[in-house]
A and B are shown apart, each in its own frame.
Chain A
Amino acid sequence: MLKYFVLGSTILSTAACATPYTPIPFDSDITPVETIQIVDDSFSDEPTTQKLATNGQNMASAMAASAGLAGALVGAVAAGVEANIEAGQRRRIQDALDTVGFDGETVFDEALAKALTERDYELDALSIDRKSYRQLIDLEPDETAAVDMATLDIAGAGYGYQLIGGSTQWRPFVSAEVRLTSTNDPENILMLNRVVYNPVATPDVIVNLSPEPKYGFVSVDDIEADPQLAAEGLTVALVSTAEAIAQLLNRTTITGIAAEVADAASEDEVVATVAGTDAIKEPNSEVNSEMSEPINAVAEAEPQAQAEASEETEATTDSAPGIEADDAKTSDAPEADPEVENDNNDV
């Protein structure tokens, strides 16, 4: 019991620390889409770098340079030292990738087109002047567009190589926000999400992709020594990101089929539809007849069933796995993490 309480608290605390963000999953059963219009210029044509940790040696240099200054200035000087170093390293990495003709924007565009085509979407393009790669574009409605046409905008905030500390390695990263809207009504958001390849903090609910372990470089010298491998690592990152975005647009194909099967077999086959579709494909009348009574009981006495379930939450936590963690989320839980409560936004 205690073990699971701790497990639950740990998991939920982790979730609570992240910034609340509500994605909108795509559901083709709600709004069928046949043609996707992709907004041009999703990513910059030039990779960049991120140095996300503070190098201790640089901080020491800053201390020496700013003795007597207030603390905030010390940090500013240190940040300046870091920025200067990173600017030089970024140029060297960009130059190394240039030597093998790496074109990240084209890599991403081709991978996205391929992944969407494989999902039977017709593709179209929309050219708009993008002010910032960090912001989705305010689209105008195209009232001539077909109702099954949607516009996909991708704000590719950046891609390249990142280093998060002296004892770690340069690894590829990609970060993008994606949104699918009805072309004739951009206010109608069909899908909204974020995809991060190699996130430095596990983001809440958005898509996070782990980097391929083999593409790590101890120093910029190593990238310069093997630019082909560095380009390959970044290609994998961009292709994975494109594939993930296409996955977010998977069609909802099962619902209708399942509904038809269920309707056709409604009287005596569909009760125990578990294990994928085992019970539907090979109905077992013995099993089904056993299940029909509990169904009626649930349907008729649902409020009572729920009340009983809630009481069991408190009374039988040892025998009812799965309830303890939920306890931890309630305001009555004695050791509830305050962040968790905040995260839940009680009203």
Chain B
Amino acid sequence: MTYNNSIALSVIILSAACATTPSDPPPSAVLDISAKSCGPSIDLEDWIALQPEKKRKQHSVVVPVNSEAPCFTSETGNRNYALMKLPDHGKDELVITIGGYKEAVRTLAASVTILREDGSLRRAFEDGDYMSRSNARAIQFRPREQDHFILVETDPAMVGDAVSTVAQNLTSRQNSVYAGGGYTASYSTLRGSETSSHRTYSHEGAVLVRMQALSGHIGIPE
């Protein structure tokens, strides 16, 4: 290696070392999955277990719905879906909050239905049942006998709609200052900020599932 080449290589290496790696932009909304190859219906064998491995009073699951998510073709177009099997539990003793997670710039256009074990519709929810809960547009319900699966499918009618919001947030910070006479005073401050968000409903994103036991533990009623 010549001296000049050595210099050049060093410069390249140093440049590479000093360069900052830009962070990935947040995932944007996916508005069209018409090119995706989908079957005519859901696959009842391809489900995700919601039952925790250990006994728990609360349990949360996040189900990404991405380009590899299963899908089916409906009259209104292709829909991604996630099929989840409810944990075993006593009647009315479980509370489930489930819906499309609000990411930075998108929200999964989630439509939730409850199916029986044979896949037949047990319960559906209307638009008015969805509310902003935690960081999701979610419904909340108590599973009952015959409820077996939760089906979350994307709704083509909702995809593309956007919601703009503003939020006020507080963060706590611990501080200290020299107070004279050998003392150091510590104090905490609350710092406020406002953030504006513009989220578009999307065929891809994530499902947020929150399970809470009103009695006993999830999967093991008392």
Residues of A bordering B, CB below 8 Å: 4, 7-8, 11-12, 14-16, 18, 20, 22-25, 27, 29-30, 52-54, 56, 59, 63, 66-71, 74-75, 78, 162-165, 167-169, 171, 198, 200-211, 213, 216, 244, 247-248, 250, 252-255, 258-259, 261-262, 266, 270-280, 282, 284, 286-287, 290-291, 294-295, 297-299, 305-306, 309-310, 319, 321-326, 328-331, 340, 343-347
Contact = CB atoms under 8 A, between A and B. Distances in A.
Interface string B141-168: 1101000000101000000000011111
A208 B133 contact: yes
Contacts, number: 312
Q: Which of A11, A69, A162, A310 has most chain B Cβ within 10 Å?
A: A11
Q: Which 7 A-B pairs have the closest CB atoms?
A: A164-B192, A165-B192, A325-B62, A275-B74, A272-B41, A53-B192, A270-B120
A12 B64 CA distance: 13
Contacts of B41: 271-272, 274, 279, 287, 290-291
Contacts of B189: 53-54, 56, 59
Nearest to B68: A321
A274 B153 contact: yes
Number of chain B interface residues as a range: 35 or more
Contacts of A345: 56-58
7 contacts: A8-B62, A53-B189, A168-B194, A211-B167, A276-B111, A325-B64, A343-B58
A309 B192 contact: no
Contacts of B69: 321-322
Contact of A344 (B58, B116, B166): B58
Given A278-B75, A297-B45, A343-B60, A270 B118 contact: yes
Contacts of A319: 68
Given A69-B185, A213-B164, A322-B82, A258 B121 contact: yes
Contact of A7 (B62, B132, B166, B179): B62
Given A74-B187, A208-B133, A284-B40, A254 B52 contact: no
Contacts of B44: 291, 294-295, 298
Contacts of B133: 205-208
B48 A171 contact: no
A71 B120 contact: no
Nearest to A21: B212
Interface stretch (B5-13, B14-22, B28-36, B123-131): B123-131
B141 A322 contact: no
A329 B131 contact: no
B170 interface: yes
Interface string B177-190: 10111011111111
A273 B121 contact: yes
A341 B48 CA distance: 20
B67 to A, nearest CB: 8
B160 to A, nearest CB: 18
Contacts of B186: 71
B85 interface: yes
B170 A71 contact: no
Contacts of A310: 49
Given A25-B142, A284-B40, A201 B75 contact: no
Given A71-B185, A347-B217, A207 B132 contact: yes
Residue of B56, B119, B165 most packed against chain A (CB within 10 A): B119
Contacts of A270: 118-121
A207 B185 CA distance: 39
B113 A347 contact: no
A278 B123 CA distance: 14
A23 B192 contact: no
Contacts of A324: 64
B98 to A, nearest CB: 11
A337 B189 CA distance: 26
Contact of B185 (A22, A53, A70, A298): A70
A213 B165 CA distance: 7
Contacts of A247: 128-129, 131
B95 A24 contact: yes
Interface centre among A209, A290, A294, A324 (most CB of B within 10 A): A294
Given A71-B184, A310-B49, A208 B190 contact: no
